[in-house]
Amino acid sequence: MSHPNRAFPVLSARDKLLPFYLLGIGLHHEQEHIYRDPGIQDYQWIQCRSGGGKLKLSETEHIVKQGMGMLLFPGQKHEYYALSGSWEVDWIIFDGSGSAGLFETVGIVDTCVFTLASPEYLLSGMKELLQAALTPREQTLSNYACSAILYTLLTEIIQRISVEGSDTVGQQYERLKPVLDYIDQHYAEEISLQTLAGLMCVTPEYFCHLFKKTTGIRPISYVNQVRVNKSKELLLDNVQRGMQDIAHQVGFESASYYGAIFKKLERITPGAFRRTYQKS
């Protein structure tokens, strides 16, 4: 008899080729004392619903209370238990070739405890995932449905987590929004670091640090990406238009520099791109 708040999908070898796959999920779980000397084989997300607990790692200890969650990485020794009384949590166990890379996009490479923005939103995603996991396989390809929902849930989690009071990824991008909007509107013009930093009322040095921390690339690299992307439509709209004209229209000083940046980013020259995707 299936449990209404818990599911452990049966996975085939083909299911385990998916970039993200669900191994187990439990909602409204009364958390018991867990000690794993060798760690776990997969990833586990545990979100506190009520009460509180403690996570002990090899060298650190963390309190986990309502509005917080912990992400456990494979192969890392850990122990967690309720501080006192009841500790109710929701959890998912998952794996897949895309998991490590997804977390690396925001610099998460180890087991950690996070504060959550809008934890109730994540719980609604976990309810949807549980419902998909409980759907009989004969009615639908449930593991594929779970994979899609799981990926959406994980991306929502990484946008809403923060460590020690720092901004969440979503908040970091929201802070950069005036800069990103400015670049999108003025990419064809000369754009200086001083101008971009001024939009955030910070120094150019701090702006560069903040931008790279949030996006993973330097501001000038982002500007070049925007310019190259804008140039693609120009390349295809009029096949007679010269590279010098296109380069100037999107903000590059010369056709040679434009061509070099385009090839670096796209691994193809502008001319080859035009020939490959030319509109009929």
Domains of the chain: 6-162 (2.60.120.280), 167-279 (1.10.10.60)
Count of beta carbons in the 10 Å neighbourhood of residue 253: 10
CA 82 to chain centre: 29
Is residue 2 scored above 70 in pLDDT? no
Which tokens hold the place of 43? 């990833």
3-state secondary structure 30-88: ECCCEEECCCCCCEEEEEEEECEEEEECCCCEEEEECCEEEEECCCCCEEEEECCCCCE
Is residue 140 scored above 90 in pLDDT? no
Is residue 167 scored above 80 in pLDDT? no
Is residue 280 scored above 60 in pLDDT? no
Whether the CA torsion 196, 200, 203, 206 is positive or negative: it is negative
Q: What percent of the chain has pLDDT over 90?
A: 72
Q: Tell me the per-residue pLDDT of 178-189, one tens digit each, with 9 for 90 and over.
A: 999 999 999 999
Count of beta carbons in the 10 Å neighbourhood of residue 96: 23
Is residue 62 scored above 90 in pLDDT? yes
Q: What is the pTM of this model?
A: 0.74
Q: What percent of the chain has pLDDT over 70?
A: 95
Q: Tell me the per-residue pLDDT of 231-276, one tens digit each, with 9 for 90 and over.
A: 999 999 888 889 999 999 999 999 999 999 999 999 999 999 998 9
Instruction: Report whether 213 contacts 256 (CB < 8 A).
Output: no
What is residue 216's predicted lDDT score, i.e. its pLDDT?
Answer: 82
Lowest mean pLDDT among 19-28, 134-143, 148-157, 169-178: 134-143
Q: How far apart are CA 80 and CA 52, in angstroms?
A: 10
Q: How far apart are CA 6 and CA 92, in angstroms?
A: 10
